[in-house]
């Protein structure tokens, strides 16, 4: 199967991290964004970044930078739409998205999202929380290009919550295990960044 394009969503304001680009914070000597690029890039091609502001700050990654096409930073769905518009220009049928602050995202994310796609071609990733309840991760999804105009209209109408739109289109769910820890662990605070470092060190110690 031809790899699908991947879009890394890096358009958030990072207020709990003190502002700036969370993806440029480092863990284990490498930026969060570089780790996400490496993991998603092994599954998807080509890759692009969804980010707002001056794209020059991300030039070192050598990827297209797609700003939101809707003003006011209305949330991740605007980044998804930017990615879908980009993919439409490539003639691709769909994109896979991942958040820029998740250094341990699954190495089989794309394949399992494709396998879980609902009738419209949509799928979201999920993993069990500490209580065993399956929790969806809406920034990790498979998004068909055919729905981009529907999404544009929904955003113009004020929709911001991802799952309201994906549920309306019968999105499938790709469930991932949370053992030894949740692969969708994301870095929102300095404490999370320190925890990511601990998880990375523990994984290195367990590697053969």
Beta bridge partners of 30: 27
CATH classification of the domain holding 125 = 3.90.550.10
Long-range contact set of residues 135-139: C-beta below 8 Å, sequence gap at least 24: 136/163, 136/173, 137/99, 137/184, 138/76, 138/162, 138/163, 138/166, 139/9, 139/76, 139/97, 139/98, 139/99
Give tens-digit pLDDT for 118-176. Answer: 999 999 999 998 888 999 999 999 999 999 999 999 999 999 999 999 999 999 999 99
Give tens-digit pLDDT for 72-91. Answer: 888 999 999 999 999 999 99
**What span, in angstroms and rounded, lies between the C-alpha atoms of 66 and 118?**
27
The confidence score (pLDDT) of residue 16 equals 44
Number of domains in the chain: 1
Report pTM: 0.93
DSSP characters over 56-79: GGGGGG---EE--SSTT---HHHH
Q: Is the pLDDT of residue 12 over 60?
A: no
**What span, in angstroms and rounded, lies between the C-alpha atoms of 51 and 164?**
23
**Using alpha carbons only, how large is the chain's radius of gyration in Å?**
16
> Is residue 43 a contact partner of residue 96, using CB atoms and an 8 Å limit?
yes
Domain range for residue 88? 6-206
Q: Is the pLDDT of residue 114 over 70?
A: yes
Q: From the DSSP assignment, how many helices (H) and strands (E) are in the chain?
A: 6, 9
- Residue 177, Cα to own-chain centre: how many angstroms? 18
> Is residue 32 a contact partner of residue 73, using CB atoms and an 8 Å limit?
no
Any domain includes 1: no
Higher pLDDT pick, 91 / 208: 91
- Residue 179, Cα to own-chain centre: how many angstroms? 20
**What span, in angstroms and rounded, lies between the C-alpha atoms of 97 and 40?**
9
Give tens-digit pLDDT for 17-63. Answer: 445 678 899 999 999 999 999 999 999 999 999 999 899 999 999 99
């Amino acid at each position: 199967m031809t790899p699908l394009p991947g879009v890394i969503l890096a358009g958030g304001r990072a207020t709990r991290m003190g502002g700036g680009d969370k993806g440029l914070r480092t863990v284990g000597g490498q930026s969060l964004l570089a780790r996400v690029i490496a993991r998603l890039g092994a599954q998807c091609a080509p890759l692009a970044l969804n980010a707002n502001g001056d794209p020059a700050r991300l030039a070192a990654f050598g990827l297209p930078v797609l700003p939101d096409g809707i003003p006011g930073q209305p949330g991740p769905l605007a980044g998804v739409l930017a990615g879908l518009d980009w993919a439409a220009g490539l003639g691709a049928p769909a994109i896979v998205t991942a958040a820029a602050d998740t250094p341990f995202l699954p190495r089989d994310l794309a394949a399992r999202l494709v396998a879980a796609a609902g009738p419209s071609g949509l799928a979201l990733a999920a993993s069990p929380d500490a209580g065993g309840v399956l929790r969806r991760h809406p920034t990790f999804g498979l998004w068909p290009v055919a729905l981009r105009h529907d999404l544009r209209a929904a955003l113009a109408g004020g929709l911001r919550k991802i799952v309201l739109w994906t549920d309306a289109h019968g999105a499938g769910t790709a469930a991932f295990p949370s053992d030894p820890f949740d692969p969708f662990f994301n870095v929102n605070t300095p404490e999370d960044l320190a925890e990511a470092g601990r998880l990375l060190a523990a994984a290195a110690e367990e590697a053969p």
